[in-house]
A and B are shown apart, each in its own frame.
Chain A
């Protein structure tokens, strides 16, 4: 029993991080149908910036929001400098541009913030909590709580605010949204800023556990993409469910089968899901009208 609980804790910790990464994918996909492969680099930049500020004497309480702000600005710059100039290109071209952006970001961080893994202190100590014979780090609880709060905040944003509704309208039908007066260009810009901030949030939360390094975005970005696809691209609920599912499946595989299969099973899972549910677990059913 205590083993199972420990595996659950392990899976939920990783899963919540994947969920935050997946939410970023969902946001930008909704606004533009673009899969932003630079999402992982936003996560990396958040963690690296926070660790950098903290190492240079900025208190943690200030370093975290500062890192998120810096990354959000980076997200806006990416949209302004790389995506907007190519706004008339098709989606495939834009996706390739995001891959280029990710390489540039990784390279710049490597040059200016260094190649070493940087540590970041835990938000509230390292003494683990015990429950049901298993242990969990305070930082994992921070991750879980923040992911839940983020999901709630996003639900409020999309359901109750004008800007959120405009973003949602753009995702349903860009032309119609434009016709009723939504500035779809501003929506796209905002989606990049928001996705970058979300990514950075994930980055600063996970950095105290793993440390931050210039190349940590690749894996997190990929797991986030898998989680987003699993849940159904563009669905906020799906991103969270996909992330948690991915994390838990990984932990259970490592725990009960063998850790050698840990990285393979999620991909088997994604194949199965896409085979039987092509729109993912929570993806909208799209019907083509003739």
Chain B
């Protein structure tokens, strides 16, 4: 699936190089991601490649380093694009934390670089630096807020439709 997957370590036994990379990730900004970090945690995707697919059981969490990723549901003519995610944004957090299947499909729009975290190495980052926790919580809150406003608009449209006809 990924054209350049390099994170082949056992999920629950990160080696010293991987731990060093996680330390660097935890204490650096995404825009500062070094080649060493990318060597340990990075993947590259070509346009149209799928990072994860709706209903699959993968649990990895992705942080976008470069490029854009389309989030969609359904396939073919039934596909509906929900959002586009860009640099610094996190994807795949729901399945990573609640263990349910993926709720949407993530597809590379152009060339995309991401950092990929398993449950084991993301837990290590949590322990190393809390800003990741706060960033993730804020990201989830923003999405909930955004989606909730869409729900309100949708019901408002339904109410207006009922009143008009």
Q: Do A and B bind each other?
A: no
A residues with a Cβ closer than 8 A to B are none
Q: Interface residues, chain B, CB within 8 Å of chain A?
A: none
